[in-house]
Chain A
Amino acid sequence: MPNVKINPDDIMIRLRGLKKSFGSQTVLSDVNLDIRRGETMAIIGQSGVGKSVILKHMIGLLQPDEGEVSVDGVVISTPKFFDTHTIRRKMGMLFQMSALFDSMDTGENIAFALREHHPELTEAQIQQTVTDKLKMINLVPEFRTKMPSELSGGMRKRVALARAIALNPEILLYDEPTTGLDPITSDVINDLILDMQSKLGVTSVVVTHDMVSAFKVADRIAMLYKGRIIEVGTVEEIKNTSNPFVRQFITGQRKIEVEGTVPPPVAP
């Protein structure tokens, strides 16, 4: 677990009463969650339960049907909020499938947003930043000429992470960062997530169903179940929870220990 000082009253991302449906399918029914500045919060839950949907609300890619999302004190979940550009400049996101720009090489993927947002930078400064970011994810500068199609899944994730931190964000969102990777490569990504927190002091939200990863990188873990957050706690609290739904998930049991309906939601 990372060792970063976190103030429990300093909330970076706040979700209140979040509701979202796609057609007739309700994905989020009442999500309440606070993410503190500087902490790494892992959101766990079964596939298709709506974890990535929460993440997309945090960065304004989706608007809730009801409820409120605020980032660094600014409510972004209103149709009247047009300044998504400023909020997104504070945030970086690592996508599940990396989402590298296929037509650009690695260096250009990292430099592209930098070049567009900072026209005052010289080409030498941009190339230096690319080198720095590649070093930060433990890749040699020669990687800049590789095309995304030449990279393995783990490498693509690392380059996508370098691109996400190119604009020095304050918040990093990770959508299933270890999905599809072998355990060793997954651990490399986990170490990078920890590095980002300790070196850059970023607030991180990691959406995952990989419990090894969640236990390693998170300060706190929240469990999403049937559209609601049913448990929030530190890694130790989650490991020792008595909540049967959380126990079922973290131990990977098919059958639940105590039969019941949907568990009550917890306070954020």
Chain B
Amino acid sequence: MSFALAPFRFLGKMVVDGIENTGEICYILFRTVKVLPYARKNFNLIVKQMISIGVSSVPLLFVTSIFTGMVATIQAEFQFRNLVAAKFVGTAACKMVLIELGPLLTALVLAGRVGSALAAEIASMREKEEFDAYLVLGLDPYRYLAMPRFVAFFTMIPCLTIISNGLALFGGWIVCVLALDITTYSYYTGMQYLFNPMDLFSGIIKSFVFGVTIFLLGYYHGLHATAGARGVGLATKNVVVSSCLMILILDLAVAAIIFR
């Protein structure tokens, strides 16, 4: 009998855990948003995080974005060869990069780079009792630890997405000029053709959502890491896996809302 009930028990536990975790993530968001008015006063902490999350991610993004743009353009040209005019390669590259590839790849790359770093940092702080030290000194950890990181993730990921979009289109142009025999003029007019500002905005709106998601999951998994190196390792793995999954789900959800 108990064997027959096992799947239901497992399912029930999953549902309860899911509700519990969602509740806790909402609580982190609530506590962080509540201390947002202090952003101006603690602006130096925000700038520090912006540099660590944003500026230092640019080199990695530079490489991934240019190569993504190159591959997307080569693929577009290959698929459309002898079917449509060469200028549509620019149109396809532009649409792909602005709507999907730019925001999605930037978020996935940053989930691996800064999401895991956030979880490891918070886990290590918790283990070394730094959280308790803030409380004992009468300081709110949400104000000094969570809020600066939240603002940095919320602002830097859209900025990085815009940079990534630009770099990917630049990568596409390099391929067109050097390998595909498509002129700069053709590529440029192709990009303009069928361009809809909503393409760009939808990507940026998505990146705001992705930024908040990576922050919340990174902070949550850092807070719940078990002690020791294994605990930190597990937390970083969990944040990358859950962030990537959530990014893909939210990508679909936002796309469904915007492009209905």
Contact = CB atoms under 8 A, between A and B. Distances in A.
Contact of B133 (A56, A84, A99, A167): A99
B133 A61 contact: no
B130 interface: yes
A102 B122 CA distance: 12
Decide if the interface of chain A is mainly helix, strand, loop or mixed: mixed
A16 interface: no
A91 B128 contact: no
A97 B126 CA distance: 11
Interface in A88-102: 88-89, 91-93, 95-97, 99-102
B181 interface: no
A59 to B, nearest CB: 6
A117 B144 CA distance: 13
Interface string B124-140: 01001110110111110
A95 B134 CA distance: 12
Is the interface on chain A under 10, 10 to 19, 20 to 34, or 35 or more residues? Answer: 20 to 34
Interface in A17-69: 56, 59, 61
Contacts of B136: 59, 61, 88, 91-93
A181 interface: no
A113 interface: yes
Interface of A: 56, 59, 61, 84-85, 88-89, 91-93, 95-97, 99-103, 112-113, 116-117, 163, 167
22 contacts: A61-B132, A61-B136, A89-B138, A91-B136, A92-B136, A97-B128, A97-B129, A99-B128, A99-B129, A99-B130, A99-B132, A99-B133, A100-B130, A100-B133, A101-B130, A102-B128, A102-B130, A112-B137, A112-B139, A113-B139, A117-B138, A163-B137
A117 B137 CA distance: 9
Contacts of A84: 135
A113 B137 CA distance: 6
